[in-house]
Structure 1
């Protein structure tokens, strides 16, 4: 892939950073709170595309004057709209993962003219779960833990709610490195948005017909919250559920993912 160019643009309440790689039809990749860094291995699998990577506001190279302001999905979707307008080249394919999958769906509902195909990988939308009330209460407890006891305690509480198994360190293992400043910012954005993002109410009727795909990781069974939410959202939108390799980070090597295998499934959905 050619050397990327990095750009910034001003938006109300933030400066937005994005990268443009290669040439060809536009493919935007986005997460939340994951920054552009987490998508580089996947982007490398699409040398025939103009791949756009974006740091959501408050993360990476997209600073906010008030980083304590909780994430707002509609605002994040408008940010994506601004980035796509700046890149140009007409409607784009959009791949969103985790919180970015929610943003991608909101973009498609608000600006269907800007998207060709939208692939939402493991959107953690809880509103259509059978036990949505109970899960909302659990997320509220995570948010309260963050306010009262800090990010470390809140991340432990979140892992329990999400069903993500944390590996036990070996007895002789050295202590893990302290989170980087960028990791701490991303963690804060996730915890600040644990309620506002995950309880977002998507207007499914506004989604462009035939242009939305919802995916789930093969490892994300009924014990993993995002496995459950992906199935529920696909049923709500009325589309088949697409299975991707791996789990929630199926394209991230550090999370046990395989970018090559993941890209093969994604490419098939975009052709």
Structure 2
């Protein structure tokens, strides 16, 4: 494991240290900040930076672990054209948690990170205390899964024919990700954003087509955004909760309810997450 110094989040006195960890086919980047019980925040394809506003609210009561999934942020891959694999991402998260603590940890996963968190609970239940999977886009749980499968194939075909931005525009249209009223216009994508978008497109099928195995009783909660009734991820959240017999908890905002740049409120979201972890 290698470490590099980092700065502190605004309003925080703890120093944030960035670590790297070797894994098969990748070098994984993660940060540890705050103090208290371990809580990992994981996304996909969003890297750790997207969780910083939420982490600032949680680090006073938790040791927060922020992890860039392989191929995003500062986590590199030997072959960045290789599609994301749910089992591999869960194993990566398992390695990161093992490097931080020998005790079971709480895990909050959002979007594709929710899929990773569910897979971690299914395959490494001894490492988790409570898992909150927020809006996992597992379309195979839907009764119209074939329609979503075809839509994903259409996005990938457009990616090959017209490029990344055309594919992402179609993806947003398909999944009801129009910004909420009053949300600021997003800035132009950075290089890191483009890498994450590429991981999203490459993961259609391998990520969204996944089905989770048996989950440990009493340790997993599904989260859904209050604004997500019409979004695909709102439907998948309800479907996954119903099929696995899991509690369904409503969180403030929509798919990005923890991030102010996506119309979210990290303060209110942190309160809801703390309540979900205490269930």
Deviation by residue 1:47-78 (Cα, 9 ceiling, x = unmatched): 12110000000011101121111000100000
Look up the match of 1:21. 33
**Aligned counterpart, 1:171:** none
Tell me the secondary structure at the aligned position of residue 76 of structure 2.
Answer: coil
Counterpart check, 1:139 vs 2:152? yes
> Are residues 1:199 and 2:209 paired?
yes
Q: Is 1:44 paired with 2:51? A: no
Alignment map for 1:116-195 (pairs within 5 Å): 116-165=129-178, 178-195=188-205
Distance in 1 (CA, whole Å) between partners of 2:226 and 2:196 is 26
Measured at CA, do residues 264 and 202 of structure 1 come closer, stay the same or move farther in structure 2, by a change above 3 Å?
Answer: same
The question of whether the paired residues in 2 share the 8 Å contact of 1:219 and 1:247 is answered with yes
Stretch of structure 1 that moved more, 105-114 or 44-53: 44-53
Say whether residues 1:5 and 2:17 are aligned partners. Answer: yes
Q: Is the 8 Å Cα contact of residues 35 and 61 (structure 2) preserved in structure 1? A: yes
Aligned to 1:32: 44
The TM-score, its normalising length taken from structure 2, stands at: 0.91
Q: Which residue of 2 aligns with 1:211?
A: 219
Query: Which residue of structure 1 aligns with residue 6 of structure 2?
Result: none
Match runs of 1:50-89 below 5 Å: 50-89=63-102
CA RMSD of aligned residues (A): 1.8
The answer as to whether partners of 1:245 and 1:261 remain within 8 angstroms in 2 is yes
Q: Which runs of 5+ in 2 are unaligned?
A: 1-11
Equivalent residues of 2:186, 2:261 under 8 A apart: no
The structural deviation recorded for 1:20 is 0.2
Residue of structure 2 aligned with 1:253, choices 254, 260, 264: 260
The 2-side partners of 1:241 and 1:96 are apart by 14
Show structure 1 runs of 5+ residues with no match: 169-174
> What TM-score, normalized to structure 1?
0.94
